[in-house]
Amino acid sequence: MLVGIDASRTVAGKLTGTEYYAVNLIQAIARLDQHNQYRLYFNVPFQKPIVRQENFQKRVMPFPRLWTQLRLALECLLDPPQILFVPSHTLPVIRSPKTKTIVTVHDLGAEFLAEYHQFPQKLYLNRSTEYVARHADHLIAVSNSTKNDLQKIFQVPEKRVTVVYEGVDLERFKPLKEKKDLERIRQKYQLKNEFLLFVGTIQPRKNLANLIEAFALYLQESKKNIDLVLVGKKGWLTDEIYAKPKLLGIQEKVFFLDYVAESDLPYFYNLASLFVLPSLYEGFGLPILEAMACGCPVAGSDCSSIPEVIGEAGLLFNPNSPQEISRSIHEMLENENLRAEKISQGLKRVKGFSWEKAAQKTLQLFEKIYHES
């Protein structure tokens, strides 16, 4: 079996959710499969190959614009793989009839929260997702929540969509005991006090204005000297988010750190007193698992995929209520028994989410679709 994989997301510079998914899943597939042949398609040259196995070929095909619809499409027409796997949403419209297609859909946020996306972005995401929902041979959804959304909006038949959870790298994300290393990160980023942590792109869908307001409410009733640290690159429609701390008079307690080094992120989870994901919509919510794996307690929204990922191992709140978010922060930080219980449950829960499991299910799907052709 020859499987082509759109690997363009793996060389996207600073990696975020969908890019991490592509890198980790491809590497896990490589660890499990030395038998089938793979062809990785890249849109720009890479400095360090993500896999080095002989059964993984690399094809670098630079192209200035519309790489998927023009350059990748042409390559797959001239030399078609038997399976084309796209780890994120966008499928070439022109394809060889010899090729079966499998596409991962991470979320349908642009459908549910259209007002929180810029028009060109919203149009692109909605059109590309609708196209793969209608025309891909099979879809991977990263959660049951995303699967249900695909079925609800696009009437995707049950037999055409498979849920494959994302994983977490337990070699990277784990409790760290070396105080010298933890102190080095604290000094490097000037993390002077105890802090709450958010990790993700700074954008309206993440509901950070309500988190900042909830944090302000918590500060009014708590004697803790605690900060709020928001780690993530600046996204879109962010003016209200960045202005909120000053508006509430807590600008000295809220820190936007932009993108931090990938190797430093596990230390942030280890140093944090609580990880909070207040999103209005998530397709999965990978930072929840990363925090749990590091022994950091978590609290998140009671909507979309977040309860599915947290399970019983954290607190849930109504993301539209700053008062309820604040109560969850207070409960987790002030109740030591609850905090210890949720940390223990989180460390157990993450063992059920691995990239090896994700790769195994994905490989089974490759074989299934290949033998159906």
Rounded CA separation 32/2 (Å): 15
Helix axes 17-32, 286-293, angle to 10 degrees: 70
Q: What is the pLDDT of residue 36?
A: 98
Question: pLDDT tens across 158-195, in order?
Answer: 999 999 999 999 999 999 989 999 999 999 999 988 99
Question: Poorest-confidence range of 7-11, 37-41, 339-343?
Answer: 7-11
137 and 208 together in one domain = no
| pLDDT at position 268 over 90 | yes
Contacts of 318 (CB under 8 A, 6+ apart): 301, 302, 324, 325
Residue 13 — very low, low, confident or very high, per pLDDT cuts 50/70/90? low
Query: Is it the case that residue 14 has pLDDT exceeding 70?
Result: no
User: Domain span at residue 60?
Assistant: 2-167+354-372
Is position 174 within any domain?
no
Contacts of 92 (CB under 8 A, 6+ apart): 68, 69, 72, 73, 76, 84
Instruction: Decide if 347 is inside a domain.
Output: yes
146 with 62, same domain: the answer is: yes
For position 347, which CATH number holds? 3.40.50.2000
Question: Which DSSP string do the residues of 255-314 spell out, in sequence order?
Answer: EEEESPPGGGHHHHHHH-SEEEE--S--S--HHHHHHHHTT--EEEESSTTHHHHHTTSS
Residue 173 forms part of a structural domain: no
The predicted-structure confidence for 42-83, as pLDDT tens digits, reads as follows: 999 887 889 999 999 999 999 888 999 999 999 999 999 999
- Identify the H or E element spanning 185: helix 179-188
Count Cβ atoms within 10 A of the Cβ of residue 55 and give its class: 0-12 exposed, 13-18 middle, 19 or more buried.
middle
- What Rg value do the Cα atoms of the chain yield, rounded? 21
Q: How many domains does the chain have?
A: 2
Same domain, 346 and 272: yes
Whether 228 and 197 map to the same domain: the answer is yes
Is the domain of 283 the same as that of 301?
yes
Asked if 123 and 207 sit in the same domain, the reply is no
Q: What is the pLDDT of residue 192?
A: 85
